[in-house]
Structure 1
Amino acid sequence: MTTERVAVAPTRKRAYGHTALSLAVLVAAVCLARRHWPVLESGALRLAVADQGWLLFGAAATGATWLCAALAQQGAVPRRLPPGRLVAAQFAASAANHVLPAGLGAGLVNLRFLMRCGLPAGRAVTAVAVRSTAGGIVRVVLIAVLATACPGVLRIPDGWAAGVAVLGAAGCALVLLGGRRWPRCRQALASVAADIRAVHARPHRAAALWGGSLAFALLHALVLIAVAQAVALPLAPGLVALLYLGASSAAALLPTPGGLGSLDAALGLALAAAGAPAAAAASAVLGYRLLTVWIPLVPGLLVLGILVRREAL
């Protein structure tokens, strides 16, 4: 009993810390929105008269993201998963991701779904981690490719590159030392490595993992591009995609539900800094969030409730 209480206490402290930080970011976002309310109001009016064809195209791209998320999650698991429930779980996970901080919602929904499909808890955790890692790697590669095609857009301050390299080296050293000193770390790393080898031993699973992760990131960028075209944002599509990937990666560092507040501010500032008018940038961000968050939120939560009621989660 004592050991369980000691283990639960740090978890509660971390949860309280994440919640406090999320609330602080949300309060800051509300204050920022209140300060720039005329720009937001102008952006909303511009979105109301936007090109409906491009908005419908963006809505279709949003729907395809859940199929790609299901494909990527299937690729992270050697065994076959029920396709219908897998897609429904991804739709529910996207809604849960906008309720809990730091992307915990999607991870918990997928974890529970995989365990209901018969995977042991350890394997389910590894499968979710493998998919998340593949998604992160894909984003880094896309940013590097687009940054090369659009030089000078993503400006890194002097000295930051060396600092990032030092932090990365320190993190790798900690992982290696931890794996040598703590048996549980060694077991966890060995389990992850074994599952990665098992997935890549089957080419169709590896193709699903990496192809789904790549398509997922590109489709989200395509949603923003479609909204930008609908509101006549004077930026090239490739530049909009690069700005989205950079802003969403930066916003992921703050544990707000679904990047609420952090992504909106980062994306709006990135578009404005690239030369878009403030009202057009606000309109593009509002349209993107409307298609990817607010319209699917209630249906996604309903699907989540149905899956829980049917014991699929």
Structure 2
Amino acid sequence: MHGTQALAPVPEAPGPGPGAPARPTSLLSARPVRLALCLAPVLLAGIWAVSNRPLLYEGVRRLATADPRWLLAGAGLTCLTWVAASCVRQGALPDRLPPGLLLASQFAAGAANHALPGGLGAHAVTLRFLRARGVPLDRATASIGLYSLVRSVAKTLVLLVFLAASPAWRRLGGLVPDGRLLVPVAAVAGGLLASVGVLLTVVRPLRRPVTGLARAALTDARLVHSRPCRVFALWGGAVAMPLLHAGALACVGASLGLGLPWEQVALAYLAAGTAVGALPAPGGLAVDAALVWTLVTFGSTPTVATATVIGHRLLTDWLPLLPGALVLSALIRAKVL
């Protein structure tokens, strides 16, 4: 009968017991992966500090007896280098980027450079930052290429100006490669260029993305150079970066009694960085060795020159390493990178 018809049982919601549905494996595994990415920069910074205890001790000991006013000026110039790098990054891209997050990413990129040689760490951090801001991969990669090209051209122009203004360049013959090495180096470079050309000509799947990347790079380069604000940020920041680094080195040298005029210190920094800066050595060890040799060639004592280079490396790279690693971890955790 209708009045006595049994009601259909209502299914109960599964509780947290064995009947509950399992959480997706991707969600369970995402947390450990993200935690590992956040802790990796801090761990790398700690390992590097432990493995370089003698250098850290010597740099700290020398800086403890240095003039704090010059060191403070060097620290201020070092902070300005991150601002200049942010200007170049923004100038290389038509899209507007958030200034605060861009500056934080460039500060964190310095810590990443100690794990990868040749500036690859900073480029990787910047690429993740641009991708998180919605910039397509080809345009983000093109902006990094434009950034690197403009920095190299600007640094070369600044070096040429110092070479023309200072007669001390005649003492730098030791930094010029031996003529016997130029032939095999040129042969290797020519072989690499020919191989790349053959690959791009024969392999169509490889030619297509490279052609698209080159097209995006040319389009964005024309666009940024049509805007005066982008041109000023791009080239002004690129010219300022080597001058700020050289100024920080000169301040450290003045605090330790290096005894060289600032233009010779700047020339030494530019010449040493240009001569061996392309070597794939994390942390700039080859540049430091060449810089010590150049300062001694200009008339400094080996002890003070070594202390100046160690102090400069401590001020510009080692002291910001742990804060940069923490900022990098925080940006990863906040999904900015």
Q: TM-score range by the shorter chain?
A: 0.7 to 0.9
- 1:204 partnered with 2:229: yes
Cα displacement string for residues 139-166 of structure 1 (whole angstroms, at most 9, x for unaligned residues): 1111111112344133235747975888
2:139 is the counterpart of 1:115: no
- Partners of 1:129 and 1:136 lie apart in 2 by 11
C-alpha separation in 1, matches of 2:133 and 2:235: 22
Judging by fraction of residues, say which structure has more helix.
1
Q: Is contact 1:179-1:186 (8 Å) kept?
A: no
Give TM-score scaled by structure 1 length.
Answer: 0.79
**Is the CA contact 2:172–2:294 (under 8 Å) kept in the aligned structure 1?**
no
Secondary structure in 2 matching 1:153: helix
Report the 3-state secondary structure (helix = DSSP H, G, I; strand = E; otherwise coil) of the residue aligned with 1:118.
coil
Larger Rg: 2
Cα distance change, pair 228–87 in 1 and its aligned pair in 2 (3 A)? same
Matches within 5 A, 1:128-277: 128-148=144-164, 149=166, 150-155=168-173, 156=176, 159=179, 183-184=207-208, 185-259=210-284, 261-277=285-301
Residue 297 (1) aligns with residue 321 (2): yes
Can you give the 5+ residue segments of structure 2 that lack an aligned partner in the other structure? 1-47
Structure 2 residue matching 1:139: 3-state secondary structure: helix
The separation in 2 between residues aligned to 1:174 and 1:189, in whole angstroms, is: 18
Distance (whole Å) between structure 1 residues aligned to residue 271 and residue 76 of structure 2: 23
Q: Per the alignment, do residues 169 and 146 of structure 1 end up closer, same or farther by CA in structure 2, a change over 3 Å counting?
A: farther
> Structure 2: how far apart are the matches of 1:124 and 1:117?
10
State the match for 2:111 in structure 1. Answer: 95
Q: Do 2:105 and 2:328's aligned partners in 1 also have CA atoms closer than 8 Å?
A: yes
Q: How many residue pairs get matched? A: 278
**Which consecutive aligned stretches of 4+ in structure 1 deviate over 4 angstroms post-superposition?**
43-46, 160-182
The worse-fitting range, judged by mean Cα deviation, of 138-147 and 53-62 is 138-147
What is the TM-score when the length of structure 2 is the normalising length?
A: 0.74
Q: Distance in 1 between matches of 2:60 and 2:251?
A: 16
The alpha carbon displacement at 1:126 in A equals 0.7
Q: Distance in 2 between matches of 1:243 and 1:136?
A: 17
Query: Structure 1's 53 and 71: CA in aligned 2 closer, same or farther, altered over 3 A?
Result: same
- How many angstroms apart in 1 are the aligned matches of 2:180 and 2:307? 32
Instruction: Give per-residue Cα distances to partners, 1:188-221, cap 9 Å, x unaligned.
Output: 3222222211211212111111111111111011
The answer to whether structure 1 residue 66 and structure 2 residue 82 are counterparts is yes
SS class of match (1:113): helix
Residue ranges of structure 1 left out of the alignment (5+ in a row): 1-25
Taking every aligned residue pair, what percent have the same amino acid on both sides?
A: 43
Instruction: Name the CA shift for 1:187/1:172 in 2 (closer, same or farther; >3 Å).
Output: same
Deviations 1:32-70 (A, max 9, x none): x99xx9xx95x8654331111000000010111111111
In structure 2, do the counterparts of structure 1 residues 141 and 291 end up closer, same or farther at CA, with 3 Å as the change threshold?
same
1: CA distance, partners of 2:192 / 2:219: 22
Quick one: distance in 2 between partners of 1:131 and 1:219?
A: 17
Deviation at 1:181, TM superposition (A): 5.7
Partners in 2 of 1:161 and 1:285 — Cα distance?
Answer: 28
Letter in 2 for 1:60: G
* Shift, 1:308, TM fit: 0.5
Q: Is the 8 A contact 1:147 1:154 kept in 2?
A: no
Q: Counterpart of 1:152 in 2: which secondary structure?
A: helix
Report the aligned-residue RMSD: 2.8
Counterpart of 2:299, as a letter, is: G
CA distance in 2, matches of 1:239, 1:216: 17
Task: State the AA in 2 paired with 1:269.
Answer: W
What is the CA-CA distance between 1:100 and the residue it aligns to?
2.1
Matches of 1:133 and 1:193 in 2, distance apart?
13
Q: Is the 2:151–2:238 contact (alpha carbons within 8 Å) kept by the matching residues of 1?
A: yes
